Amino acid sequence: MLPRVVHFHRDGSHENRAGRPNSRHNNGNSYGTNFSQASSTSSRTSSSRTSETGQWPLAQHYFHSRTTSFNTPDGLWHSLPTFDDRQDVKIAIICALPKEADEVFAVFDKPGDDKRQFTKTARDRIAYTICFVGEHPVVVVHMPGAGKVNAAGVAAYLSSSFRNIQLALLVGICGGVPGGSDGSEDVRLGDVVMSQSIVQYDSGKQYPEAFERKPSTTSASLDLRTALNQLETEYHRELLQKRLYDLLSDLQTRRSKVAYPGTEFDRLFEPAYLHKHWNNTCNTCNSGAGRVCSAAHGLSCPRLGCEDEHLVPRPAPILSSDGKRVPSIHVGTMGSGDRVMKSGTHRDAIAEKEGIIAFEMEGAGLIDHFPCLVIKGVADYADSHKNDVWHHYASATAACCARAFLERFWTAQATEYHGHGYDPWSFLGSPDPMMGSHRSEAPSSEGLAHQSTIWCVPLRRKISFAGRTNELAALEAMYTNPDCSSISLLGLGGVGKSNLALEFAYSLREKSPDVSIFWVQASDAMNFDNGYAEIGRQLEISSMAELQSDLKQLVRQRLSQESFGRWLLIIDNVDDFGLFFGDEGITRSKSLNSFVPRSSYGCTLITTRDRKVALNFSRNHTIEIPCLDKEGALTLLETLLEPLPSGLDRTLACSLVERLNCLPLAIVQATAYINLNRIDVSDYVSLLDDKEETVFELLDEDFQDEVRAPGAKNSIISTWRITFENIARRSPLAQECLTMIACIDSKNIPERLLPEGASRKHTIDAIGLLTGYSFLTRRHSDSGSGTTYDMHNLVHLACRSWLQEKSALKTWAPRALNRMLETFPKPDHTNRSAWSLYLPHASRLLHSVHIADMENCFELTFLVGQCLFLEGKYRDAAINFKIVVEHREKTLEPFHHNLLQAYTELSIALERCSQLEKSLDYGQKALRGYTETLPPSHPTVLTAFSNIASVKRRQHRWKEALEFDQAVMEARRTVLGANHPDTLSSMANLAASYKSMGSPEKAEELLQCVVEGQRSALGEDDPVFLSSLARLASTSRYLGRLALAEELALDVLNKRKRVLGAHHPDTIRSMANLGSTWRQQKRWEDAERIEKEVLALRIGILGEEDPHTLTAMGNLAATYRSSGKYALAEKWDKDTLKIKERIFGPNDHSTLTTMSSIASTYRKSNRRAEADALSKEVLKRCRQSMGELHPQTLGCMAEVAYISKREGKLYLAASLAKEVIKGRERLQDPQHKQVREMRHLLSSVNRQRNRLRGKREHSAG
């Protein structure tokens, strides 16, 4: 189905370019806009298909020639229509070499009389031949020679002779860039390469140190980009390749010279392996230094002695039944230059830098004259081993591909009968949208749970919004279309897409108060996260609007539920295709688009300036927003001028809006400047005349607007530059604000981050100046985070461009860094809303190359790491801390305090990421440094010891951890006092060690003291207090006090949700602990429900293979096992085991724990033999990988001891029991539960052995 794009003209009308009529479905609302319907006539002589632009619509039908073979075997041409009108020629094919043109003539249809149909005129300076594809004429142009200069000359004369050329195909041969050795992106000889873009790689500036390529804009036209995007689908690519092969096969039956050369001639040598004499017969070639004699260039590889051992190993090609390889089609960037590429090393270097897949010599000369597509067959690998063996075959594949492309993706009318029942709408969809399925009626109140309507739009309605009636009507019509669930607003930056979406949101709110409406920014992933976090808060998924945890999956799931009701989600500024849909650095499962909800009662509206984003997101529901028409622009100008001049010259006003390209943002800015300075419109026009005209690339990102007239001046940048300069002259403080904002993110800018003036009034005046120019938009938030502002992305980019041109960024970026550090909130849980606002700005600033080597840069990196840690994003925090550590190791003394602090923070973050060995390593480095430089009782030294103890505890080195915790607690009690928060924390750590050592009573006693002390010292909302309360709940559960454990666990969970947010790792851990308590209470349904929630959160935030996710899977399996659902328990444990074996290995302690759980499931389900065998295997692996004294090994020994007793192997049972007792006594408290159990087992075994011995003695007596 072809994308349908609604194009608006400057007169306000709009049309449907896909050829299908529009109708509206208003669900009871009356929207008064009708779309003009495309003509339905099928007459070949009708002009309705070309009346607007003279173009043929894309891919309306797939057609061939009138016969199965376009050329008959006897070489006769079938009768084709006569042709005598230059104006009908809209396709040109340009060939650089005669051999390339030969194959084009052989593939395309020839006129019936075999004569040129035109009288040569004075303007005809080129040689050309007329061919046909079906009924469409094609002019084949012969170049005087190769190279882009010749190509440009031919193109100039071609445009003079044939004025209606709409597409130029450059057809011939090229040098391909081979893919990886694994077959990825594999370009082979004879394949066809089609240009998605063209890079003139040899045009630029040669500096002493390097060559800098001149940026060039070579993106294809809309029609071509749409066609090439369609080719990216497997379906259409396969259809094109099949048609190419059919044409090629037919051609090969008539022309023997285009036969497939064979795979033995497809030889790819290593890039650095030169084509020269290797048989010691040439002094030049054997002199070293990479020299090659001129004679070698004309000789073949066998004659030169090029050795096969230097061939690049590649997967064997897939051949057809007749031993031929079907040519593949590759679409990508082509390199165009004046030099023939004959160097493998240069080829790979340029290709890697520019993303090139093939090299040729003419494309760069055509791109400025016509919409141009290069279609070339790969004749060599652009290395020194070139030869002519593949020239004819590659020329033939290119010619066949050119015809296949024109048949399927360009020309409009079918030239053969498709048979009865052929559906001409098979590629377009039904021409009548009313034929599609209607959206189901809105859910009734009886069928829905109570759902309050939600308004989550943080922006005010624009009072000055005017016009755009047609666009609003089209948007409303699409929204009420039963088949429409996604809409794109597409247009140039600053054209008013966001304002239109905002007006539609308020309009919809008035007309349909039962629709919930949400607004999200997608300028980057962090702002997207913040928007979803706010929606999550509104949906009561999370209670903290400031929290930046990943709520996206839960928001998507909630809105995707049809029971939620009707909703509209507006996603603003979707301008980064890779971020939204995924690329090399972002997988599709993590792309922003994967979090967009889908529901028959909902609709998602995006705004974007990237046509590719729009077509990929909404396909046939895209509204293209043009600049205002002249009358609309004049109306906007008159509305904004204060006061409106009584004698405004209409001609002068028209001149101004035309110079501003009728762009709303430019008009708003210009009138703000006029009003603030009380100048006339003529003064502003004269200021525009003072600036040199420049064809300005849209900063760093290309953007083409098909609606705007070709060659029109893009004066919005000139307007902004004038305004920037004026602001700099009028208010140095406002200029400082601009430069500060240019260095940080453009959304949600805290006012306190901006530079301060000499007085509050100066600050207000400076910000007022920026808001007066609409550079800043004030946000209104009830989160208590203070005043924040937004800047439009394009303004932000233009501001950066302005500063870059003045070489000012390198000066202002360090100042922005200093201001960031001056105002950055303290990383503390009490002011989370403050520092969470700073994180996007700090992240953006840290990417600046102008501060990369500054010491302050690493200070900010450290602060960002601390904030990320508080958010529970431990991996990201560890990355930041690692950067700081590496820098400080290079610049500071080994025991410098700042380096040791970085070691400490990195150690703690790694411990939270379960990277225990690395955590212990950095923790010991910190401890070593502190003990060398500080007294033993210094609080910092004690903290370092405490951190080491925490890691050892998680490594099951409980005795060492206990010794550390005891020493730290005693020292802190002596130095700081019994009620100091650090002393209480050390008591809590000691309690954890006691519990691990099998002394839960001691742990409970300590924790009760800790909880009371921390409640008084820290308060009940402090995260440290909540951690101690959670430990007390866990200990109570361990002791069997389940009612108390549940009460405490619920209290911790509710407070963590409120303080940390529903998706903080500590909150999720509290949910898991509550589930364990419910499991022990035999509340199976409650336990299963909450453990499923925990698992879903772990998967959504961390992924399926994270250790915490695997733990959640194990907990759910334990609940199934306890409730008697053994099949489910076995399934979940086995799924977990597969992942652990792949990630951790078969002998990891975590893997063996899961194997033990499976054995327990077998045992409970009366599969005792399997259970016993598996338990013995686990013990064997534990001994091999962890040793005899590891706690996990001892636990397995105890299990096998019971098995041995049951099997009657009393000696083995006794021996294992003794080993367990001995090992546990060495590691833990002699009164540990397992020690008591083993002593009881040993006593039972001994009694049984004594009875057996007595029986034997009695029998013997």
Which residue has better confidence, 782 or 179? 179
Please give the average per-residue pLDDT across 1020-1041, as a whole number.
89
Is the Cα dihedral 276, 280, 285, 290 positive or negative? positive
Q: If you average pLDDT over residues 1183-1190, what whole number do you get?
A: 83
pLDDT, position 1258? 76
Q: 454-624, superfamily in CATH?
A: P-loop containing nucleotide triphosphate hydrolases (3.40.50.300)
Amino acid 759: pLDDT: 87
Q: What is the pLDDT of residue 390?
A: 92
Q: Which amino acid is at 603?
A: C
Least confident of 712-716, 845-849, 882-886, 1105-1109: 712-716
Task: Judge whether residue 642 has pLDDT over 90.
Answer: no
Query: Can you give the pLDDT at residue 781?
Result: 57
Of the two residues 170 and 684, the one the predictor is more confident about is 170
Nearest C-alpha neighbor of 719 from the set 778, 634, 769, 656: 656
**Given the structure tokens 């009865």, which residue do they identify?**
420
pLDDT band at 429 (very low <50, low <70, confident <90, very high): very low
Dihedral of CA atoms 826, 827, 833, 835 in degrees, nearest 10, equals 70
Residue 575 is predicted with a pLDDT of 73
* Highest mean pLDDT pick, 939-953, 1222-1236, 1246-1260: 939-953
What is the pLDDT, as a whole number, of residue 723?
Answer: 64
pLDDT of residue 435: 29
User: Is the pLDDT score of 1045 beyond 80?
Assistant: yes
What phi, psi does 887 have (nearest 5°)?
Answer: -70, -45
Helix (H, G, I), strand (E, B) or coil at 398: helix
For 454, phi then psi, to 5°, come to -115, 135
The one-letter amino acid at 406: L
* Whole-number pLDDT of residue 1106: 83
Tens of pLDDT, residues 92-128: 999 999 999 999 999 998 765 544 455 565 556 788 8
Distance between CA atoms of 1143 and 1125, rounded to whole angstroms?
27
Of 598-607, 670-679, 845-854, 1048-1057, least confident by mean pLDDT is: 670-679
Residue 995 has what pLDDT? Answer: 82
Structure tokens at 180: 């990886």
Tell me the percentage of the chain whose pLDDT exceeds 90: 23
1053 has a pLDDT exceeding 60 = yes
Predicted pLDDT of residue 708: 32
688 against 459, higher pLDDT: 459
- Residue 214 CB contacts under 8 Å (≥ 6 apart), including other chains: 200, 203, 204, 205
d(Cα 727, Cα 1249) in Å, to the nearest integer?
98
What average pLDDT score do residues 179-204 get? 80
pLDDT value, residue 924 = 92
Whether pLDDT at 582 is above 90:
no
The CB density around residue 865, as the number of other CB atoms within 10 Å, is: 25
Q: What mean pLDDT is predicted for residues 612-633?
A: 84
Tokens of residue 919, six digits: 């955590």
630-727, CATH topology level: Helicase, Ruva Protein; domain 3 (1.10.8)
Query: Considering the chain, what is the average pLDDT of its residues?
Result: 78
* pLDDT value of residue 492: 65
Which one, of 589, 798, 565, lies nearest residue 700 by Cα?
798
CATH superfamily of 86-266+325-410: Nucleoside phosphorylase domain (3.40.50.1580)
Average pLDDT over residues 1055-1082: 89
**Computed from CA positions of residues 444, 449, 453, 458, in that sequence, does the dihedral angle turn out positive or negative?**
negative
pLDDT in tens, 1117-1175: 999 999 999 999 999 999 999 998 888 889 888 899 899 999 999 998 999 999 899 99
325-329, 401-405, 765-769, 983-987: which has the minimum mean pLDDT? 765-769
What mean pLDDT is predicted for residues 244-253? 91
| pLDDT reading at 1225 higher than 70 | yes
Q: Are 398 and 376 in contact (CB under 8 A)?
A: yes
How far apart CA 498 and CA 574 sit, in angstroms, is: 11
Structural contact between residues 1118 and 1079, judged by C-beta atoms closer than 8 angstroms: yes
- Burial of residue 408 (number of CB atoms within 10 Å: 0-12, 13-18, 19+): buried
Q: How much is the pLDDT for 656?
A: 79
Does the pLDDT value for residue 519 go beyond 80? yes
Spatial distance between the Cα atoms of 1212 and 1206, rounded to a whole number of angstroms:
11
ω into residue 597 within 30 of 0, thus cis? no
Q: Which two tokens stand for residue 1079?
A: 């499991």
* 490-497 average pLDDT score: 75
Task: Fill in the amino acid letter for 637.
Answer: L
pLDDT surpassing 50 at residue 63: no
Confidence of residue 417 (pLDDT cuts 50, 70, 90): very low
The answer, yes or no, to whether residue 71 has pLDDT greater than 50, is no
Structure tokens belonging to residue 292: 């090659």
Rounded Cα–Cα distance for residues 375 and 631 (Å) = 44
